[in-house]
Amino acid sequence: MKRVSKNLLFCSVGRRGELIKNFKASLEIQSRIIATDCSQFAPALYFADKPYIVPRIDDPSYLKALLKICKAESINAITTFIDPEIEILAKNRKIFEEIGIEVLAPYTETAGICFDKYKLYQHAVKHNIPTISTYGDIEEFKNAYTNGQAVLPVFIKPRTGSGSVGVRKVEKIKELEQLMAEDRSLIIQKHMTGFDIDADVYVDTISKKAVRIFSKKKLESKIGGATKTISFKDENLVQTIQKIIASLNFNGPIDVDFFYEDGVYYLSEINPRFGGAYLHAYGAGVNFVNCIINNLQGIENDPDFYSYDNGIVMMMYDSVVIRKENELAK
């Protein structure tokens, strides 16, 4: 089937300029990438074919602004680069679908489970998916600690946070009690000592199955994600990911984090969107944009999990966008 032009809307693009550049390079010349952000100082805006400044995602007029852009730019698919917006797109899927737009985001229940780390832990336990021991409050942890089922140190983190913000290692029970009393939104997780693993996954919008998986070990991470990674392939990880996908309802790109310890991949969290380190997958030849375009044309993608090389290293670095003030998006 001949590829036809398609227009993609990427929301809340922030600093993801390299992602936008790669996506543009993958599209037919007639296709366009439209980008939005609430700040005219979001550098990724200036790599899109057309940028839009929109209200904050918690503004009551936000959805209306997105729909106006979709109609004006003949958008075929929409997605976001930030976690808090995923549920907005998921909950309003029908509104977008009614005007012919594919929402590259999970369905509502799955979006809620992935955004809440404790709910994700409970889901994994229910479905016999290896996961990191997680405690929703200090009482639950102390019961496990007293019974010898939990040990210190542990990590605490926001139940609905993203980008490693607020993550902290705690070594003493008194300190843990104090921190949990001060902030009831925190959860407690076992301190893992194995390898930190990340997988970029594309879930076909037709078959609802994983059709692309790119696995990488994190060599260096900073707030916001991995900055140095090295690729690897493992059939056991592929099987674990397929089990996760089968237990939830995804649609499009997702980013899945694991810890590998004692021969087991333990699920850490799922971000059902493009991860910033998807740049590594793209550079290694694993192209999700082609999968999206196929789906938009009604073509189901065949699974392909191993057509990249082991030992490909990604080393992320900073760059800049320079514009005159009067050239900024309005």
Secondary structure class of 218 (helix, strand, coil)? strand
pLDDT tens digits along 140-197: 999 999 999 999 999 999 999 765 667 899 999 999 999 999 999 999 999 999 999 9
16 burial via Cβ count (<10 Å: 0-12, 13-18, 19+): buried
Question: Mean pLDDT, to the nearest integer, of 112-117?
Answer: 97
Q: Is the pTM of this model over 0.85?
A: yes
Question: Mean pLDDT, to the nearest integer, of 17-23?
Answer: 96
Determine the distance from the C-alpha atom of residue 116 to the mean position of all C-alpha atoms in its chain, rounded to a whole number: 13
Model confidence at 76, in pLDDT bands (50, 70, 90)?
very high
Question: Mean pLDDT, to the nearest integer, of 2-22?
Answer: 91
What is the pLDDT, as a whole number, of residue 222? 81
Question: Mean pLDDT, to the nearest integer, of 86-91?
Answer: 98
Question: Mean pLDDT, to the nearest integer, of 93-97?
Answer: 98
What is the pLDDT, as a whole number, of residue 172? 96
Question: Mean pLDDT, to the nearest integer, of 131-148?
Answer: 96
Determine the distance from the C-alpha atom of residue 99 to the mean position of all C-alpha atoms in its chain, rounded to a whole number: 25
Q: Is the pLDDT of residue 4 over 90?
A: no
Buried b (16+ CB within 10 A) or exposed e, 306-326: eebeeebebebeeeeeeeeee
With vertex at residue 272, the alpha carbon angle to CA 271 and CA 276, rounded to the nearest 5 degrees, is 60
Alpha-carbon gap, residue 209 to 273, rounded angstroms: 16
Q: What is the mean pLDDT of the chain?
A: 95
What is the pLDDT, as a whole number, of residue 228? 96
pLDDT tens digits along 43-54: 999 999 999 999
Percent of the chain scored above 70 by pLDDT? 97
Q: Is the pLDDT of residue 221 over 90?
A: no
Question: Mean pLDDT, to the nearest integer, of 113-123?
Answer: 97
Q: Which residues contact 80 (CB under 8 A, 6 or more apart)?
A: 10, 11, 12, 86, 88, 89, 105, 273
